[in-house]
Amino acid sequence: MGKVAAAGAGLVVVIMLFIGGGAIAVVQAVFGSSSSAGGGMNCAPAGASATSAAGYGPQEMGNAATIVAVGKRMNVPEQGWVVAVAAALTESRLQNLNYGDRDSVGLFQQRPSQGWGTVAQIMDPAYSSEQFYRHLLALPNWQNMPVTVAAQTVQRSGFPDRYAKFEPTARQIVGAIQGATCTTNATTGGWTTPTSGTCTSRFGYRGNEFHKGLDIAAPIGTPILAANSGTVISSGPASGYGLWVRIQHADGIVTIYGHNDHNLVREGQLVQAGQPIAAVGNRGAATGAHLHLQIEANGQPVDPVEFYRQRGGQLCR
């Protein structure tokens, strides 16, 4: 799942868990937008009296708050929050475990050997939450699936029916969260990984041709996220790229996302870091499904891998 952080001292989103008279008030979850998931973002119940919900304590509820905050930032509907929390309840009882079956770790017991990320990345609750949502959003018609089916399709558990029993508790927990105190460490200046996949062709010469970007292979329909906040300056057909999105950011930086299957944003639209803007495709001069990520600084293409490395991020494993 992807990595980000807020610049400066960090972004704070105010949240609280409302629990009174031994019962949990069912409220609409409302969050401010953070710059992106990952990068050490963690959320915690506000107030000493917010000690438990549905039998889970502050640590578990803090992890649940992080899951929901990431979902909110990614514009995932509330049903998706329930699916994610139910999956984490099933896999780890909302504990960020550093062990599991084979090489499984973290809230969702994701496996580094299966391409979910490094152990350090997966152990970041915001990163693992974002990865879960990316896979969920890639499922056609997921919102109309039963919670247990959606969770199983993402997780591919050997016990596909076990998610169902945690659905009522997941809905109770999601309903109890009106907010959380969320902070991010200032490490990447707001830059987040635009999609999950395998780096196949890097920046530089390919024979006699100079490749101006980085190719990240992923299945058609995999969500593409805005690498940082900015303004969409192009969204539509483009020679060679098939279908692209171009975003203008601060400091003369422009990001380009090419070969898209379809776009979700329009020219002139303001977007936030981590916001879904398109889906991976194989349009244009492409030999397979992938994202062509191109980063330009003052009109000149730069190496995306090095660009992220200088900001404490990682695009390719």
In the structure, what pLDDT confidence band is assigned to residue 223 with cuts at 50, 70 and 90? confident
Residue 49 has pLDDT above 80, yes or no: no
Residue 4 has pLDDT above 90, yes or no: no
Which tokens go with 69? 């905050």
Query: 230: which strand partners?
Result: 271
User: What pLDDT shows up at residue 48?
Assistant: 31
Q: Is 57 helix (H, G, I), strand (E, B) or coil?
A: coil
Residue 237 has pLDDT above 90, yes or no: yes
What Rg, from alpha-carbon coordinates, does the chain have? 19
The Cβ-side half-sphere exposure at 196, using a 13 Å CA radius, reads: 24
pTM of the model: 0.52
- 314 by Cβ neighbours in 10 Å (0-12 / 13-18 / 19+) ranks as middle
DSSP helix, strand, coil percent of the chain (3-state; round to 5)? 25, 25, 50
pLDDT tens-digit map of 140-179: 999 999 999 999 999 987 777 789 899 999 998 888 875 5
Residue 76's CB is within 10 A of a number of other CB atoms, namely: 24
pLDDT tens-digit map of 286-301: 989 999 999 999 999 9
pLDDT, average across residues 5-31: 30
User: What pLDDT shows up at residue 301?
Assistant: 96
Residue 211 has pLDDT above 70, yes or no: yes
Higher pLDDT, 241 or 28: 241
End-to-end CA distance of the chain: 12
User: What pLDDT shows up at residue 196?
Assistant: 80
The region of weakest confidence among 129-138, 257-266, 270-279 is 270-279
pLDDT tens-digit map of 121-134: 888 888 899 999 99
195 and 137 Cβ atoms separated by less than 8 Å? no
Single-letter amino acid, residue 146:
P
The region of weakest confidence among 51-60, 132-141, 177-186, 287-296 is 177-186
User: What pLDDT shows up at residue 161?
Assistant: 79
Biggest CA-to-CA distance, the chain: 72
Long-range contacts of 116-120 (CB under 8 A, 24+ apart): 116/1, 117/1, 117/317, 118/317
Residue 138 has pLDDT above 60, yes or no: yes
